Homo-oligomer: A and B are copies of this chain.
Amino acid sequence: MSLSVSRAAREQRPDGDALRSAWRDAFRAARAETERRAAPLSPEDQVVQSMPDASPTKWHRAHTTWFFEQFLLVPHLAGYRVFDERFAYLFNSYYVAAGPRHARPKRGMITRPSVAEVADYRAHVDGAVARLIETAAEPELATVTGIVEIGINHEQQHQELMLTDILHAFAQNPSAPVYDPGWTLQDARDGLAVVRPENFELSRGIQWIGHEGEGFAFDNESPRHEVLLQRAAIARRLVTNRDWLAFMADGGYATPSLWLSDGWATVQSEGWRAPGYWQESGGQWSAMTLAGLKPVDPDAPVCHVSYYEADAFARWAGRHLPSEAEWEAAARAEALPDAFGIVWQWTRSAYAPYPGYRAAPGALGEYNGKFMINQMVLRGSSCATPAGHSRISYRNFFYPPSRWQFTGLRLVDYPA
């Protein structure tokens, strides 16, 4: 969505009104999607924080709003009155440069402002942003729409987290609440039935990776640069629950030699014996999902596995996880029909700056760069990723033991 806006914008430079109108529509659509995701949730649902890594729905709704207020309205809309002076403290996530903030693990304590007050906050800011888009003077319009674009993309990231976080919260409730009775993880079988052969062959050579073109991208997707690839055969399809059940049946979770040392320590301290949210009853596996507790579908892609598990599975299968460059090269070759919209795919690449990367100065420079340690890159996108937020150069990242995201994997092999 934001991509098409910015392209449209650039093609229509002469017509300022069309540009403003396109941005206003994109902004409204993004904001409405957040509300659509929150709609099934009661006030109680929206306030809980089920672990330090997750955040309450209400917090996501308020934080994304604060982002526009702090980085767009305060510096650029003359005469703008902050909705509530206390919100900057409550709803700043981690922008040290934007001032002190409430401790992350205590977000679930903020019963007030209420859900209704947060709705008022959103309306207040929405109106102001719309006004700013309409009225910004030409010289400043590019700056304004640039921040709107970042804000939209930022909000889309939180839309994904709203679903993963509420799933985690609901999974703590023994009565397994349902977020959306119709939710299901797309089964990739049909789309893949015709793909032949099973693997896509990458040839040795220098490839460009990273963001190119005029569309929006985060700073961590740049600078675009060359990498040297080895010959490799990357799987066209995702690893499925059937594959995973075979790994489990073969003692995958009980065989230390399959695991990285830190991974094995996690298996033992956490008592893992299946993917996240799986539970066994009477010899059958079910999984907590956004549709409640459901039997595990063998043909669906495996989901809610950590990097440690993905790595152990690859070793068990006698194969590897792809590097992010291999993934990107295969995706650019249109060889990965299920790359987007199902599960994020772990790569074996540690999250690191691209050569020559330099974080921007100021608070927005804290967006990506300071997290480039101890995490692994995931590529593609998931069922929870909002429309318009996926792209080939996108770099998602999580810690190796994390598995509350919609995370799966595909494998790669190297010719002898």
List residues of chain A with CB under 8 Å of any chain B CB: 42-48, 50, 58, 86, 89-90, 94, 96-97, 102, 106, 108-115, 169-170, 172-175, 177, 206, 225-228, 230, 256-257, 259-264, 307-308, 311, 348-350, 352-353, 355-356, 365-366, 370-374, 400, 414
Contact = CB atoms under 8 A, between A and B. Distances in A.
Nearest to A96: B256
Given A44-B47, A260-B370, A311-B373, 14 more contacts: A47-B48, A86-B174, A86-B175, A96-B257, A102-B174, A206-B228, A226-B228, A230-B356, A260-B372, A261-B370, A261-B373, A307-B373, A355-B414, A374-B400
Contacts of A373: 260-263, 307-308, 311, 400
Contacts of A115: 44
B48 A175 contact: no
A373 B260 CA distance: 7
Q: Which of A173, A206, A349 has the most C-beta atoms of chain B within 10 angstroms of its own C-beta? A: A173
A234 to B, nearest CB: 13
28 contacts: A43-B43, A44-B44, A44-B111, A45-B111, A48-B111, A89-B174, A90-B174, A106-B172, A109-B169, A109-B172, A109-B173, A110-B172, A110-B173, A111-B173, A112-B173, A112-B177, A230-B355, A260-B372, A260-B373, A261-B370, A261-B371, A263-B373, A264-B370, A307-B373, A348-B353, A349-B352, A350-B350, A374-B374
Contacts of A112: 42, 44-45, 173, 175, 177
Contacts of A47: 44, 47-48, 111
A50 B109 CA distance: 6
B370 A259 contact: yes
A71 B66 CA distance: 50
Nearest to A258: B370
Contacts of A311: 373
Nearest to A116: B42
B228 A227 contact: yes
Q: Looking at chain A's contact residues, is the secondary structure mostly helix, strand, loop, or mixed?
A: mixed
Contact of A48 (B108, B206, B356): B108
Nearest to A372: B260
Q: Can you list the 9 inter-chain pairs with the closest CB atoms, starting with the nearest? A: A350-B350, A109-B172, A228-B228, A44-B111, A44-B47, A43-B43, A261-B370, A45-B111, A96-B256
A227 to B, nearest CB: 6
A57 to B, nearest CB: 10
Contacts of A46: 44
Q: Which of A46, A89, A112, A374 has the most C-beta atoms of chain B within 10 angstroms of its own C-beta? A: A374
Contacts of A44: 43-44, 46-47, 58, 111-112, 114-115
A93 to B, nearest CB: 11
A341 to B, nearest CB: 28
Nearest to A318: B358
A173 B256 CA distance: 25
A111 B355 contact: no
Contact of A175 (B90, B366, B414): B90
A201 to B, nearest CB: 16
B257 A97 contact: yes
Contacts of A45: 111-112
Given A97-B257, A175-B86, A228-B206, A111 B374 contact: no
A30 B181 CA distance: 40
Contacts of A97: 257
A260 B225 contact: no
A68 B225 CA distance: 47
Nearest to A232: B355
A45 B114 CA distance: 9
